Amino acid sequence: NAGVTQTPKFQVLKTGQSMTLQCAQDMNHEYMSWYRQDPGMGLRLIHYSVGAGITDQGEVPNGYNVSRSTTEDFPLRLLSAAPSQTSVYFCASQGSTEAFFGQGTRLTVV
């Protein structure tokens, strides 16, 4: 009963470094998404995917790339990290309406 698995749980990056946040789900959901959570801002949608090979931008996509080669995996890439990307990142897997979240990745960019 893994549900949604995110790795890593914590990460510190230097400005300009790149990294990939991993997300995997075992619920066979077509729809997956990435959110960032900042104090007082709630959950803001970064990118989403409605199935393998299909991705689209959300509310705050700048600085992030995604791809969806399989139903199970939906990685989020930061190409050149900036301090403004310091945040908590959540991956979600969704059936028709209900979304299930991973435990989050706390990212600090220094």
Q: Which residues bind another protein (CB under 8 A)?
A: 4, 6, 31, 33, 35, 40-45, 48, 50, 58-59, 90, 94, 96-104
User: Least distance in Å: CB of 96 to another protein?
Assistant: 7
Pairwise CA distance, residues 86 & 11, whole Å: 10
DSSP, collapsed to helix, strand or coil, labels residue 84 as helix
Give the number of other Cβ atoms within 10 Å of residue 110's Cβ: 10
Q: What are phi and psi of 86, to 5 degrees?
A: -65, 120
Closer Cβ to another protein, 44 or 77, answer by number: 44
User: Least distance in Å: CB of 105 to another protein?
Assistant: 10
User: Least distance in Å: CB of 42 to another protein?
Assistant: 4
Closer Cβ to another protein, 26 or 59, answer by number: 59
Pairwise CA distance, residues 105 & 81, whole Å: 15
